[in-house]
Structure 1
Amino acid sequence: MPSGGERVSEFKVASIIELVGESETSWEDAVSRAVGEAAKTVQHIQGVEVLNMTAVVEEGKVVKYRADCHVAFGVDDDLRNL
């Protein structure tokens, strides 16, 4: 049951894609980049689940943050029947 300002999805079917976002700043930025890139080609994004977070270390310092994400998006009823 939704609480507060949560929106109820109008889609009956959702699809999920797996993406890896990368950032030199933070894991949060890596997730935002993954969602931002998905939004360029995918409509109706409903949410994101972070599955794993890793980092690239060079000379003892974190130089890249990576977030493995599932991005869920609603599937239009009109498009499902194609």
Structure 2
Amino acid sequence: MAVLKVIEVLANSDESWEDAAKKAVAQAAKSVKNIRSVYINEQSATVKDGKIDNYRVNVKITFEVK
């Protein structure tokens, strides 16, 4: 039986929500091994001069504990 753990990570990007999610996983992978999945819990953005300035995601990352 596998034991899984979930952590919550916040990340942002100037490009897209997808890029922000990729950055969250890449940063988590530096210290967490065996990442299995990512769940986009929440998306938001900041607006400057009528345009999206920054994309933000709140993600839940699931990994196996060995």
* Both proteins in one fold, TM over 0.5: yes
Structure 1 vs Structure 2 CA RMSD? 0.9
Name the structure with the higher strand share: 2
Runs of 4+ residues deviating >4 angstroms: none
RCO comparison, higher one (Cα < 8 Å, 6+):
2
Runs (5+) with no aligned partner, structure 2: none
With normalisation by structure 2, the TM-score equals 0.95
Runs (5+) with no aligned partner, structure 1: 1-10, 77-82
Percentage of matched positions with identical amino acids: 38
From 55, 59, 62, the equivalent of 1:69 is 59
- Partners of 1:35 and 1:27 lie apart in 2 by 13
For 1:15, the aligned partner's letter is K
- Match for residue 43 of structure 2? 53
Q: Deviations over 1:7-39 (max 9, x none)?
A: xxxx61100000111100000000000000000
Aligned residue pair count: 66
Q: What SS does the aligned partner of 1:68 have? A: strand
For 2:39, the aligned partner's letter is E
For 1:14, the aligned partner's letter is L
